Structure 1
Amino acid sequence: MKKHYHGHRSRLKERLSKNPDSMFDYEIIELLLGYVVKGKDVKPMAKDLLKQCEGISGIFGCKSSDIKGLGEESDIFFRLIREFYRRVNLDKAEKEKSLVDSPEKVYEFLKYHIGYSEREVFVVLLLDSANAVKGYEVMSEGTVNQANVYPREIANKALQKGATAAIICHNHPSANLKPSNDDLRITRKIKEGLSLFDIGLLDHLIITAQGFLSFKREGYL
């Protein structure tokens, strides 16, 4: 006997093709979960997942396998989507020589890479004289609240890429956007180190899944 949700999924797919704006968030998640969970009605799981993640924007920061009926494959599936977004952003930036002339653009560029990480990750974004992206480097991956960063290594990466400016970024897994004393100290050291090679430090961003803080905008840099 054909399950009731088989026809339901077909109808959802048809709506997605014709009018995606008409769909609820749980229906989008429902369709996605249908590619991971076979032979089950996933609507309750989709609704539970959205509730646990406090909305669709929190999906990448949740452990979906905590939801009854979902398993490790669902975690892998959403990590895969996040990695896909990250690579799309990187590829687009490098091909189009995207300008990162605002902290909002930096955030969009890096949020899928470090914003949802459970460990602290420190990244340097390397730019040319027009503030176009030349690449980025992960300088360290630390524990939940600490990453070791060495200003000399950042300067070396910038010189290797022929960068004339840099923006440093790191995430706070706690989602707290307030900079620590260590954050302020390392920012000063990196700025001083880069200046020896005539490389400007344009900003330092703290990034979380929910938002960011710009040191320059807040007067810390």
Structure 2
Amino acid sequence: MSEKPYYLGHRKRLKERFKAHPESLQDYEIIELILGYVIRGKDVKPLAKKILDEVKGVANIFNVNEDIEGVGGETVLMFRLLQEFYRRVESAKVLEEKVFDNPEKVFKYLKYQIGFENVEKIAVLYLDSKNGLISCKIESAGTVNESYIPPREIVKKALLENAVSVILAHNHPSGNLTPSNGDKVFTETVESALSTVGIRLLDHIIVYKNGYLSFKKEGIL
């Protein structure tokens, strides 16, 4: 009678450790358990370590892609599902409070939508008179370090939505939250365009997966 592969016992022990003390597991061990639900009949510990090495740590885990040797479409899909799940959880928490009255809420709402992107994207939040969200549009995808949408398009959408105010946000894939001169000029241009039709620009927030910068808090807007 053949023995079971050694990694099956290892995986069982990992699960038991997780049930008892989840904080005791290393990052690669958590990834190992996740991979075990996608990749059957194989020791996935080496792949878990390789993934973390390739994406430069667990903070970047949603950057997993098929360019990493040993990673297939189902593995990428699993992490995309997790990313979408986290996005919905965070969005639901914010939307339960109904108002976007501070940049932290905007960050939590947008973190999993644009914070992990490898190219810049602009999000525009259209708000009612109580700072309640009417809609949020990811308006433009650009290059690695540039994203742009004509201010008149934002004004047009705001009028169609009967918005009273707007919040701009965009991501910096580099992780550097310092606004560029282009960011500042764009913000001023949008603020001016919105003001001509009586709509306020409340803030412009730069989003990264583990932090943000508020133009309002920094005194830029």
Does the alignment reach a TM-score above 0.5?
Answer: yes
Shift in Å, 1:135: 2.2
Post-superposition Cα deviations, 1:35-82, rounded to whole Å, max 9, x if no partner, equal 22221111222233333434322212x335454433343223212221
What residue in structure 2 maps to residue 122 of structure 1?
122
- The residue type paired with residue 104 of structure 2 is E
What's the offset of the Cα at 1:93?
A: 4.1
> C-alpha separation between the residues in 1 aligned to 2:165 and 2:112?
23
One-letter amino acid of the structure 1 residue matched with residue 85 of structure 2: F
Asked if 2 retains the 8 angstrom alpha-carbon contact of 1:206 and 1:213, the reply is: yes
Counterparts of 1:96-115 in structure 2, within 5 Å, are 96-115=96-115
What SS is found at the alignment partner of 1:203? strand
1:100/1:132 contact within 8 Å kept: yes
Query: 1:1-221 residue pairs with structure 2 within 5 A?
Result: 1-60=3-62, 62-94=63-95, 96-221=96-221
- Residue 103 of structure 2 aligns to which amino acid in structure 1? P
CA RMSD after TM alignment: 2.2
Residue segments in structure 1 that go unaligned for 5+ positions in a row: none
In the comparison of the two structures, how many residue pairs are matched?
A: 219
> Structure 1 length as normaliser, TM-score?
0.87
Q: CA deviation at 1:129?
A: 2.4
Whole-angstrom CA distance in 2 between matches of 1:203 and 1:211 = 16
Tell me the amino acid that sits aligned with residue 63 of structure 1.
V
Q: Per-residue deviation at 1:102?
A: 1.9
Cα shift at 1:134: 2.4
Alignment check: 8 A CA contact 2:171 2:207 kept: yes
Residue by residue over 1:62-107, the C-alpha shift from the partner in whole angstroms, topping out at 9 and shown as x without a partner, is 335454433343223212221222233344544x253222222211
Q: Distance in 2 between matches of 1:162 and 1:9?
A: 54
Contact residue 120 and residue 143 of structure 2 kept, 8 A:
yes
| 1:126 Cα offset (Å) | 1.9
Q: Distance in 1 between matches of 2:136 and 2:97?
A: 13
Q: Show CA shifts across 1:152-173 (max 9, x none).
A: 2212222333322211011122
Contact 1:155 1:193 in 2 (8 A): yes
When structure 1 is superposed on structure 2, of 202-211 and 12-21 the one drifting more is: 12-21
Which stretches of structure 1, 4 residues or more, deviate above 6 A after TM superposition? none
* TM-score, reference length from structure 2: 0.87
CA distance in 2, matches of 1:92, 1:126: 18
SS state at 1:220 partner: coil
Q: 1:174: how far off?
A: 2.4
Secondary structure of the residue aligned to 2:217 is: helix
Looking at structure 1, the residues matched to 105 and 6 of structure 2 have their Cα atoms a distance apart, in angstroms, of: 44
Is 2:36–2:44's contact at 8 Å kept on the other side of the alignment? Answer: yes
Name which of structure 1's ranges 23-32 and 50-59 shifts more when overlaid on structure 2: 50-59
- SS at 2:134's partner residue? strand
The sequence identity of aligned pairs, in percent, is 50
| SS at 1:14 equivalent | helix
